[in-house]
Amino acid sequence: MTAEQLTALIAESFPQLQEGSIVKGRILDVKPQVVLVDIGYKSEGAIPVSEFEDEEYDVGDEVEVLLERLENDEGVVVLSKEKAAHKQNWDKIVGVYKDGGLVKGKIKSVVKGGLMVNVGVEAFLPGSQIDIIPPKDLNEYLGKVYEFKIVKVNDDRKNIVLSRREVIEAERAEQRAQFLESVRIGDRVEGLVKNITDFGVFVDLSGMDGLLHITDMSWGRINHPSEMVAIGQMVEVQILDVNKEKERVSLGLKQMQPNPWENIEGRYPVGSTVAGKITKLVAYGAFVEIEDGVEGLIHVSELSWTKRISRPSDVLSLGQEVQAVVLGISKEEQKISLGVRQLDANPWDDIDVRYPVGQTVKGKVRNLTAYGAFVELEDGIDGMVHVSDLSWTRKINHPSEVLKKGDEVEAVVIEIDKPNQRISLGVKQLDNDPWSIIDERFKIGDLVKGQVAKIASFGAFIQLEDDIDGLVHISQLSEDHVEKVKDVVNVGDEVEARVIKVDKVERRIGLSIKAAEYSEEQLKRETQAFESLRPSGDLVGLEQAFKFATEEWTPGETGDDKEDQES
């Protein structure tokens, strides 16, 4: 009989024993290195003692083992207790996987990309499946026991992939459903601060994330939610709104405290003085906290009666303790208007007593504009000299022609506008108006001398004594026909002329160069001819006529200088 035939005969004698199957055996003997186990075959099998380390055992105990081979090269049965357990566990894992159940396991080690877990067999837990938020340190999980969902089983390669995240998410989904079903608006609940953003805080309410918006954290001003809470902190909050369809919950923290804006008018009546701390400075004002949750605004215009303050930060600083007067309250908008200047008397209240109309005052030119000069009368109090009030006789286009910053000037108070805080001053009012007695100083027929100050297309302006100008119409320049004024006179020329017209109302003096040598009869006729000129066209008031001047004389400039400039 051959060896193959003998093996087949033996196999026929023990049909219940199949290699690769799990069989029951009994411990026959325990030796220092091996444990002898009888499985009812012609020889016992020897299993290393190391496979029994985690269990208590004794001779006669029944054990399940994996029959690897009926006979090895030495004719001995090859058995394995560990492999039997592994096969049993694997079959169990596959069954759990097919049923969609959970399996419990212990974290054994950290490997690339995740953790190795002992669930009876070795399984892999990817880092992304450890928790809802991927952990920073995987070592903190070593040795811990959790429940896992089996997400992948490869029977050929004996690979198992687990997920703890899916277990957590399923638990949270169930918790969310229970929470949404039971919670009511107004309930107070406890939760764990899970995440902090610029706009608010996400709080974990036993599986349900609720949003605590920054505006619902405090009745007062906070710049960032982290000023009040920290990640991992337990907080008690109030349910403000619940949306079951979208699974959203709005939370409130300030609502658990009394609203400080209730009875605000009673605590801070308009006109009362309050104390507070500067919490914020902006371009238009300063915010002052006068109690927890209540802020007022001092507008930049309410900082001083007289000082020109462009930025609140020029006079105030964060954290500064200040006093202010309540100017107004809007309970609906939760706004309080405050003023600092109201703590002192308004210097404009008695301005007309300190600077009565008609009084002569002195001051320094602080600023010049196209329409006038601002004169500082006292700290923060300015008066304005309009350009038209600088001279009775000169046409001044810009105040810089006669004034400059820093000049000390005298002026007369012309008008006071207390509501708009304006004082009108005049420099020319220091002297009498020469035009009021012009008909006494200049009479028709008088021979006068002067210098050509301006030239227009219709005539020449002659500067007479005391800065009074007269107009020589083009028709009065020469007996001959004149095409252009410059053909006869130029700016800066000294000329002699006769007065042929004096109009106190229109403030104009008509002159004639050609009539300088006329007789009284000739002068009379010329005056009558001059009167016939159209006032709105050929002859206009000096102030309007100056607008048409094409050339202008500057004191100190000669006619020759002007000719040189033009050439």
pLDDT band at 539 (very low <50, low <70, confident <90, very high): very low
User: For 266, what's the count of Cα atoms within 13 Å in the CB-facing half-sphere?
Assistant: 4
CA distances from 365 to 260, 305, 316 (A): 50, 20, 29
Region of poorest pLDDT, from 203-212, 499-508, 523-532, 544-553 = 544-553
| Selected residue with higher pLDDT from 315 and 515 | 315
Say whether pLDDT at 191 is over 60.
yes
Q: Are 390 and 407 in contact (CB under 8 A)?
A: no
Query: What average pLDDT does the chain have?
Result: 81
Give residue 276's pLDDT: 93
What pairing do the DSSP bridges indicate for beta strands 408-417 and 360-369?
antiparallel
What integer is the mean pLDDT of 248-273? Answer: 89
Burial 220-229 (b: 16+ CB within 10 A, else e): eeeeebeebb
Tell me the percentage of the chain whose pLDDT exceeds 90. Answer: 26
- Give phi and psi for 414, each to the nearest 5: -95, -40
Say whether pLDDT at 553 is over 70.
no
Give the rounded distance of the alpha carbon of 325 from its chain centre. Answer: 28
Give residue 7's pLDDT: 57
Express each pLDDT in 384-403 by its tens digit.
Answer: 999 988 888 777 889 998 89
CA distances from 28 to 45, 69, 134, 562 (A): 10, 19, 52, 139
Cα dihedral angle (404, 406, 407, 410), rounded to 10 degrees? Answer: 120
CA distances from 473 to 147, 438, 508, 518, 545 (A): 113, 20, 12, 17, 11
Q: Using the 8-state DSSP alphabet, how is residue 388 labeled? A: G
Name the token pair of 179. 């929470």
Q: Which of 375, 391, 383 is nearest to 466 (CA)?
A: 391
Name the token pair of 278. 């500067």
What integer is the mean pLDDT of 271-297? Answer: 92
Say whether pLDDT at 440 is over 90.
no
Q: Are 107 and 142 in contact (CB under 8 A)?
A: yes
What integer is the mean pLDDT of 425-444? Answer: 83
Strand spans (E) along 244-401: 248-252, 273-282, 285-291, 294-299, 321-330, 335-339, 360-369, 372-378, 381-386
pLDDT band at 1 (very low <50, low <70, confident <90, very high): low
What pairing do the DSSP bridges indicate for beta strands 34-38 and 78-80?
unpaired
Q: Which of 85, 79, 83, 82 is nearest to 67 (CA)?
A: 79
Contacts of 316 (CB under 8 A, 6+ apart): 278, 281, 286, 303, 322
Q: Which of 304, 313, 307 is nearest to 282 (CA)?
A: 313
Say whether pLDDT at 406 is over 60.
yes
Give residue 549's pLDDT: 47
Region of poorest pLDDT, from 113-122, 539-548, 557-566 = 557-566
Burial 288-316 (b: 16+ CB within 10 A, else e): bbbeebbbbbbebebbebbeebeebeeeb
| Selected residue with higher pLDDT from 62 and 252 | 252
Q: Using the 8-state DSSP alphabet, how is residue 77 labeled? A: B
The total number of residues written for the chain in this structure: 567
Q: Cα(412)–Cα(360) distance, rounded to whole angstroms?
A: 4
Contacts made by residues 169-177, CB under 8 angstroms, sequence distance 24+: 169/132, 171/207, 172/132, 172/207, 172/208, 173/207, 174/207, 175/206, 175/207, 175/208, 176/207, 176/208, 176/247
Give residue 554's pLDDT: 40
Say whether pLDDT at 109 is over 80.
yes
Give residue 9's pLDDT: 58
Residue 498 sits at the vertex; the CA angle it makes with 526 and 461, to the nearest 5 degrees, is 100
pLDDT band at 529 (very low <50, low <70, confident <90, very high): low
Express each pLDDT in 441-491 by its tens digit.
Answer: 888 888 889 999 889 889 999 888 877 888 999 989 888 888 899 988 999
| Selected residue with higher pLDDT from 205 and 27 | 205
Give residue 20's pLDDT: 60
Helices (H), 100-191: 165-182
pLDDT band at 555 (very low <50, low <70, confident <90, very high): very low
Q: Cα(162)–Cα(164) distance, rounded to whole angstroms?
A: 7
Q: Which of 432, 408, 430, 436 is nearest to 358 (CA)?
A: 430
pLDDT band at 10 (very low <50, low <70, confident <90, very high): low
pLDDT band at 19 (very low <50, low <70, confident <90, very high): low
Q: Cα(517)–Cα(524) distance, rounded to whole angstroms?
A: 13
Express each pLDDT in 86-107 by its tens digit.
Answer: 777 777 777 777 877 888 889 9
Express each pLDDT in 267-276 by its tens digit.
Answer: 999 999 999 9
Give residue 533's pLDDT: 54
Q: Using the 8-state DSSP alphabet, how is residue 328 labeled? A: E
pLDDT band at 121 (very low <50, low <70, confident <90, very high): confident
Name the token pair of 563. 């000719």
| Selected residue with higher pLDDT from 383 and 182 | 383
Q: Are 374 and 442 in contact (CB under 8 A)?
A: no
Which domains are present in the chain?
18-85 (2.40.50.140), 100-168 (2.40.50.140), 183-256 (2.40.50.140), 269-343 (2.40.50.140), 351-430 (2.40.50.140), 434-566 (2.40.50.140)
Express each pLDDT in 148-179 by its tens digit.
Answer: 988 888 877 678 898 888 888 888 888 888 88
What integer is the mean pLDDT of 74-80? Answer: 67
Say whether pLDDT at 540 is over 50.
no
Q: Which of 495, 478, 496 is nearest to 487 (CA)?
A: 478
Express each pLDDT in 300-347 by its tens digit.
Answer: 989 988 888 889 998 999 999 999 999 999 988 889 999 999 898 888
Say whether pLDDT at 543 is over 90.
no
pLDDT band at 81 (very low <50, low <70, confident <90, very high): low
CA distances from 159 to 151, 155, 162, 290, 379 (A): 11, 7, 10, 67, 89
Give residue 12's pLDDT: 56
| Selected residue with higher pLDDT from 12 and 565 | 12
Look at the pTM and tell me if it is higher than 0.75: no
Q: Are 447 and 434 in contact (CB under 8 A)?
A: no
Name the token pair of 193. 């601060």
What integer is the mean pLDDT of 505-528? Answer: 79
Name the token pair of 309. 């303050």
